[in-house]
Amino acid sequence: MYRLRPLLSKFLKARSGHFAIMTALTAPAAIVLAAIAVDSGSLYVEKRQAQALADLAAIAAALNPTLATANAQRTMSDNGVAALVVGRNSELSGPGARDRLLVTTGHYSARKEIDSAARFDPAGATKNAARVTYRTLGTRYFAGALIPPPEIVVTGVASATPVAAFSIGSRLARLDGGIINSLLSGLTGSQISLSLMDYEALLDTNVKLLSFIDALALDLDVGAGSYDEVLGANLTIGKIAKTMRSTGEIQGPALTALNSLVNQTTNGSVLPIKLSDLVDFGNGELTAASIRQVGVDMNALEFLMMSAAIAGRGKQVALDLGAQTGLLSAVVSLAIGEPPQHSGWLTVGEAGSLVRTAQTRLAITVEIGTPRDLLSLLGARIRLPLYLEAAYGEARLKSITCDGGFNNRKVEIEARPGIVNLYLAEVDRSKLGGFANPMARSPARLIDLPLVSITGQAQAEMSNTKFTSMTFTKADMKPPVARTVNTRDYLSSLTGSLFSSLSLSARLELGLLGIPLLTLPPNTLGKLTGAIQNVATPIDDLLYRLLSVLGVSLGEAEIKVYDANCGRAFLVQ
């Protein structure tokens, strides 16, 4: 007994065997933890691999939404997933396969106001994106006998939006330096005086849109990642001309003209115009990469004139063009409205994008001489108060196709000219800018003598309510070729049609009473009508020159496509 006590005491005090005992006790727990770690790490790697496969399949599917499922399957097969079952609708589970795939096409919008989770719309009419959901079973190396293999479900969304750059407006095929100077001066509040050679030099010069934006961003000290601040900056015509000059792309006579324009607009008032009013890049985040999808070479003069027209929205401009028209007198008041559902003059966008011309109102009072044999009206002038309303013309991008490769790209545009109404009538010029309200019209006083008053009224309309489709190929884009859609129900002179429906009446003015005249020199009203009809051509010419400078053509819509890109697929979610 006494011999056992020292041995027991020595055993209890010994430390050499504790590690072995602790190892024996904790080894099972450590082995379990190690197995869990290996299984978890393996599942993490498998999920990353599955996500990469889903992303690749989504990119392949988005490149051609009509073949989205086949392209996604091929991508999965090329990456080692051959035994694959493709689900329908929301079907991702079911017997018979380890790997299942669900491909859904839809429309993806990058608009900032839409929550990121709702930007992919499976019900969207325009398919520009694909969502691929991939389900597979993970591998458990240690716990497979105890726990069933987990499902790995991953989703990739990719978009490949074809975009095109196109515009609507006038080709400015015929220039008139005097009218352009008058319009620019009235719209900008500056005294613009450029020569016809200056305008022709600008008409023959193009500047790259991206170069213009980069130069403006540099001047505003804006970073290259996003151009939102550039789009929202307040600009003047002088600022636009200065930015064009700083691109380094304009030389010779055009550079001289820009220098003159910059100097002449230095003291002009700041105009309420933003770059986004001119150029529409859609509703997504604007980046340098998105701009570079298409190349746009802007005509320098068109860009300046559209800037002035947009800057003058709602502003009434008075012009005296009598000496420039061959008429005795031609006094013009014009007002330019804003297109409904704002759209730029030029847009870079996808199918469904719109461009529109501005609504325009013109009040023109023309004076011409009377025929010599109208003795009773000797010394009087014939006064023709004309009022013209031009609704916006519009063009929309219908489709972009690249069948057979990028060099075979085609752009289909649907366009229609705006409705034009011309009246022989009196209007209140102070209300021209009130586009929300119709203009009140009254019979025109053509001859107003102390005792005799001759009035008349007439109306002519150019209208085309249907869209006309036109196709632009690669050859039509570099350089851009202007295509014209014309009003179908209009073949003759607008003013000629107006005067052909002219109705005249004569009255004897006695105090406040107007008494119809029963006797006038023979055929007086007929000769008066003939004299009015003889000036239809110069009045038509005046209307054409005025409106074409503003980007509006009578009964026409002129469309240009600058470039198109069928889109590079990229992940969006």
Q: Hey, which bits of 403-475 come out as E strands?
A: 410-416, 420-424, 444-448, 452-462, 468-473
Tell me what pLDDT residue 334 has: 86
For 221, the enclosing helix (H) or strand (E) is none
Same domain, yes or no: 443 and 465: yes
pLDDT, residue 372, reads 60
Q: Do 147 and 226 belong together in one domain? A: no
pLDDT, tens digit, 9 for 90 and up, residues 289-315: 556 667 788 888 888 888 888 877 777
Contact 570, 130 (CB under 8 A): no
pLDDT digits (tens, 9 = 90+) for 183-223: 888 888 788 888 889 888 988 888 988 888 888 888 877 76
Amino acid, res. 39: D
User: What is the residue whose two structure tokens read 């003047």?
Assistant: 236
Q: Do 253 and 112 have their domain in common?
A: no
Please state the length of the chain. 573
Is the distance from CB of 245 to CB of 238 less than 8 angstroms? no
**Lowest pLDDT segment from 147-161, 256-270, 301-315:** 256-270
Mean pLDDT of 6-30: 68
Q: Which of 110, 141, 159 is the last residue of a domain?
A: 159
For residue 283, being part of any structural domain is answered with yes
Q: Are residues 142 and 213 in the same domain?
A: no
Is the domain of 39 the same as that of 139? yes
pLDDT at 518 exceeding the cut of 50: no
Q: What is the mean pLDDT of residues 434-462?
A: 82
Instruction: Read off the tokens for 480.
Output: 């851009």
Q: Is the preceding peptide bond at 479 cis, omega within 30 degrees of 0?
A: yes
Cα 213–Cα 219–Cα 224 angle in degrees, nearest 5: 55
Q: What is the extent of the structural domain holding 74?
A: 17-159
Residue 369 CA to residue 250 CA, distance in Å, equals 47
pLDDT bucket at 28, cuts 50 / 70 / 90: confident
How much of the chain exceeds pLDDT 70, in percent?
A: 75
Model pLDDT, residue 87: 64
Instruction: Check whether residue 396 and residue 459 sit in a common domain.
Output: yes
Does residue 132 share a domain with residue 212? no
pLDDT of 285 > 70? The answer is no
The phi and psi torsions of 134 (rounded to 5 degrees) equal -120, 125
Task: Look over the chain and give the mean of its residue pLDDT values, rounded to a whole number.
Answer: 78
One-letter amino acid at 139 equals: T
pTM of the predicted protein model: 0.74
pLDDT of 520 > 60? The answer is: no
Q: What is the pLDDT of residue 375?
A: 45
Asked whether residue 96 falls in the same domain as residue 224, the answer is no
Q: What angle do CA 116, 122, 125 make, to 5 degrees?
A: 110
From first CA to last CA, the distance across the chain in angstroms is 81
Domain boundary among 113, 143, 159: 159
The region of weakest confidence among 58-72, 95-109, 427-441 is 95-109
Which of 94, 128, 159 finishes a domain? 159
- Enter the tokens of residue 541: 């010419």
pLDDT band with cut points at 50, 70 and 90 for residue 271: low
Domain count, the chain: 2
Same domain? 360 vs 442: yes
Q: Which residue has the higher pLDDT, 37 or 256?
A: 256
With CA atoms as reference, report the closest residue to 384 among 440, 443, 341. Answer: 443
> Is 6 within a domain?
no
**Whether 355 and 448 share a structural domain:** yes
Tell me if 56 sits within 8 A of 157, measured CB to CB. Answer: no
Highest-confidence segment of 5-19, 36-50, 190-204, 300-314: 190-204
- In tens, the pLDDT along 386-412 reads 999 888 888 888 888 876 566 778 889
- Written as one string, the DSSP assignment of 59-126 is HHHHH-GGGHHHHHHHHHHHTT--SEEE--TT----TT-SEEEEEEEEEE---TTS-GGGSEETT-SS
Instruction: Report cis status (omega within 30 of 0) of the bond before 339.
Output: no
Q: Which residue's entry shows tokens 């001489």?
A: 369
